[in-house]
Amino acid sequence: MQADACKDRQVIAISGGDREEFLQGLVSNDVTRLKNGLVYAALLSPQGKYLADFFLVPAGESILLDVKSDLAPGLMQRLSMYKLRSKVALEDSSLPVWRGLGEAPEGAFADPRDPSLGWRFYGALEAEHAGIDWDALRVSACVPESGVELIPNDSYLLETGFERLQGVDFRKGCYVGQEVTARMKHKTELRKGLAKVTVDGSAPVGTGIEADGKPAGTLYTQAGGHGIAYLRFDRASGPLTAGDASVRFEEV
């Protein structure tokens, strides 16, 4: 069993009789899918911009929320603000988070974003540190990471691949930011967004990409000669540069 402890994750326990209904009116995905395993979702601003992404985890009389640690305080504050008179309780959990590849331990859940990302487990687990290159796996599947490709109060779900990663549902009804997200889905063609690129050379995360001297996007995580970039698609068909690196657009 190959597994690594996720040191940068925090688990929030959401309990109470209204927990599912409460989350259903807030997050981008259909909470009823918890009966099938993990649900990947995001909380948006009323303007439809990304605030935090997380996994919802079925846990009996509670729903666990697995989120990046630096997003947890702000997310907890915002959820508390929305709670009002709902029969919902929020509390920090000390549960450790593991992710791994290959044979999964009993009680593990498949990562819903992409099969290459293996499984996640919540609780004590006897496993040696596997040292898996998770960034390389993310780049290969073009899966964004909060604080890198996913930028709070700036990113939009559809531009960052949430539909492809099963992180948004267009039939579940209203949630915060739903109107903007639905309009982007049904009324416009995406002109910008995350894409996989080949990279000859290297450049710091956040390096601007140019096409014939014009801004064409930003280069983010890189591994094994590939990278994740935010691109203007109308300028991405020809040779691109990011600092001293040469970049070429790939279809995801």
pLDDT, averaged across the chain: 95
pLDDT category of residue 170 using cuts at 50, 70 and 90: very high
- Predicted local confidence at residue 85, as pLDDT: 87
CA distance 11 to 194: 27
Q: Between residues 2 and 60, which one has the greater pLDDT?
A: 60
Residues 19-43 have pLDDT tens digits of 999 999 999 999 999 999 999 999 9
CATH topology of domain 191-252: Elongation Factor Tu (Ef-tu); domain 3 (2.40.30)
Please say if the pLDDT value at position 252 is more than 80.
no
CATH assignment of 8-140, among 3.40.50.1100, 3.50.50.60, 3.30.70.1400, 3.40.50.2300: 3.30.70.1400
Q: Average of pLDDT values for 49-68? A: 98
> Residue with structure tokens 């997050």?
27
Q: Average of pLDDT values for 47-68? A: 97
- Predicted local confidence at residue 130, as pLDDT: 80
| Dihedrals phi, psi of 38, to nearest 5 degrees | -65, 145
Q: Average of pLDDT values for 210-232? A: 96
Residues 109-153 have pLDDT tens digits of 999 999 999 999 999 998 877 889 999 999 999 999 999 999 999
- Predicted local confidence at residue 188, as pLDDT: 72
Note the pTM of the prediction, 2 decimals: 0.94
pLDDT category of residue 251 using cuts at 50, 70 and 90: low
CA distance 151 to 50: 7
- Sketch the domain layout of the chain as residue ranges: 8-140, 191-252
Q: Average of pLDDT values for 94-122? A: 96
